């Protein structure tokens, strides 16, 4: 089985490598389509003579042809050099390390919460034993998916600061260490408010209903066996792993908004700041890291699914 997983991972890794090339190419093309002379970002073009501007252009390597520039850009990127942030002057990789793990923590926990909520709701709805609870949770999921996540964040902050007193009134980078609530509240807001809850629930429910109609489930029921033992692989592990891979981009996007609402010093706030300052080296780094996270989720999904059903390796 390990061999099959390895085979699937190798295939997925190849695909990731090709996609990485395409993503960087797309970003490079976007970068070159952007209006404005890149030289103007480094020097004051007006105060220099045309010869001096040309000299700077040559020094920066901007007078070379596009494929050559893409090659050298990609070469530096592979070595981990994503350039320097125009805003802070620090290397982009350092900025990403500083903020990335926080966002990964936030988005990962939020994703887990979304899937947990959806799994419980879908299970109740598909089994049909607690119709009232299932309806209430399904309706709740629809409302959560329509609510803008920033308003949900305001409500959570308002309740946590003035009603329950679990959060300090002033939040900022310094408050990041002030206890569980600072972590817990944003995770709940992002997990429930990222706008995918109703869709994930619906998908899981339809899938579960299909699995419950299978012959082997009927046999298990007839034997009086524990249903869960027969249900969890095809009913939960398979769809949940695909949903994890498919929905992680939405959660990462939602993290930008939630981090902004909560002043959470992560990659989302870095992205917001970089977009405000038009700090494009940072934005390119963020895009690349986000794409790598999404591909990592796909690789995890592939490994899990092949472990459950080795036939998928071929």
Partner 1 sequence: MRFLELTADPTAWQRLRSWPLHRTVATVYGTGMAALVVSVYLASVFRVLPQDPDAMDLGAVNALPSAAHLLGTDFVGRDLLARIMVGTAAFFLPGLLSVSASLLFGALFGVLVGFWPERFGTAVGLLLQLLESLPKLVLILLVVALFRPDIYLILLVVGVTNIPAAAELLRARIAALRRKSYIEAAVALGLPPSRIILKHVLWLHGRGLVLIQATIGMGEAILIETSLSYLGFGVQEPTPSWGNMVALGKDYFFRGELWISTVPALAILLTVLGFHLLGDALLERLEAAGA
- Which positions lie near partner 1, rule CB under 8 A? 15, 18-19, 22-23, 26-27, 30-31, 33-35, 142-143, 145-151, 154, 157-158, 161-162, 195, 198-199, 202, 206, 246, 249-250, 252-254, 256-257, 260, 271-272, 274-276, 278-280, 283-284, 286-287, 290-291, 294-295
Integer CA distances (angstroms), 25 to 11, 90, 175, 293, 297, in order: 21, 24, 40, 18, 22
Cα(163)–Cα(129) distance, rounded to whole angstroms?
36
Shortest Å distance, C-beta 69 to partner 1: 16
DSSP state of 47: G
Shortest Å distance, C-beta 49 to partner 1: 29
Shortest Å distance, C-beta 183 to partner 1: 20
Cα(266)–Cα(101) distance, rounded to whole angstroms?
8
Residue with smaller CB distance to partner 1, 202 or 230? 202
Cα(258)–Cα(189) distance, rounded to whole angstroms?
8
Shortest Å distance, C-beta 279 to partner 1: 7
Shortest Å distance, C-beta 82 to partner 1: 14
Residue with smaller CB distance to partner 1, 27 or 187? 27
**Backbone dihedral region of 224: left (phi > 0), alpha (psi from -120 to 50 degrees) or beta?**
left
CA proximity to 264, closest of 132, 123, 109: 109
Shortest Å distance, C-beta 154 to partner 1: 5
Residue with smaller CB distance to partner 1, 82 or 257? 257
Residue with smaller CB distance to partner 1, 55 or 143? 143
Beta carbons within 8 Å of 248's beta carbon, 6+ residues apart: 107, 111, 293, 294, 297
Residue with smaller CB distance to partner 1, 88 or 206? 206
- For residues 10-20, b (16+ Cβ closer than 10 Å) or e, as one string? eebeeebeeeb
Shortest Å distance, C-beta 34 to partner 1: 4
- DSSP strands (E only) in 187-296: none
Residue with smaller CB distance to partner 1, 53 or 245? 245
Residue with smaller CB distance to partner 1, 97 or 232? 97
124 contacts 209 by C-beta, under 8 angstroms = no
Cα(308)–Cα(88) distance, rounded to whole angstroms?
47
CA proximity to 106, closest of 184, 192, 174, 201: 184
């Amino acid at each position: 089985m390990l061999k099959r997983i390895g085979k699937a991972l190798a295939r997925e890794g190849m695909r990731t490598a090709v996609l990485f090339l395409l993503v960087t190419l797309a970003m490079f093309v976007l970068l070159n389509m952007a209006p404005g002379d890149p030289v103007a970002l480094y020097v004051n073009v007006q105060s220099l003579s045309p010869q001096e501007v040309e000299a700077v252009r040559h020094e920066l390597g901007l007078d070379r042809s596009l494929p050559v520039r893409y090659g050298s850009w990609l070469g530096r990127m592979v070595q981990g050099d994503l350039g320097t942030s125009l805003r802070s002057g620090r290397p982009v990789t350092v900025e990403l390390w500083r903020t990335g793990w926080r966002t990964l923590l936030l988005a990962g926990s939020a994703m887990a919460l979304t899937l947990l909520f959806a799994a419980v709701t879908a299970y109740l709805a598909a089994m049909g034993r607690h119709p009232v609870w299932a309806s209430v949770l399904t309706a709740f999921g629809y409302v959560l998916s329509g609510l803008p996540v920033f308003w949900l964040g305001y409500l959570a902050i308002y309740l946590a600061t003035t009603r329950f007193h679990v959060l300090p009134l002033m939040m900022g980078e310094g408050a990041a260490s002030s206890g569980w609530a600072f972590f817990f509240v944003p995770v709940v807001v992002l997990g429930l408010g990222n706008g995918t809850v109703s869709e994930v629930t619906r998908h899981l429910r339809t899938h579960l209903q299909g699995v419950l109609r299978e012959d082997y489930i009927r046999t298990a029921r007839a034997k009086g066996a524990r249903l869960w033992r027969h249900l969890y692989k095809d009913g939960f592990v398979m769809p949940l792993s695909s949903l994890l891979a498919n929905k992680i981009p939405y959660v990462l996007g939602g993290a930008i908004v939630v981090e902004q609402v909560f002043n959470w010093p992560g990659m989302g706030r870095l992205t917001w700041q970089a977009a405000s300052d038009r700090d494009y080296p940072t934005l390119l780094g963020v895009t690349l890291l986000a794409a790598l996270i999404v591909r990592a989720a796909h690789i995890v999904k592939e490994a899990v699914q092949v472990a459950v059903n080795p036939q998928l390796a071929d």
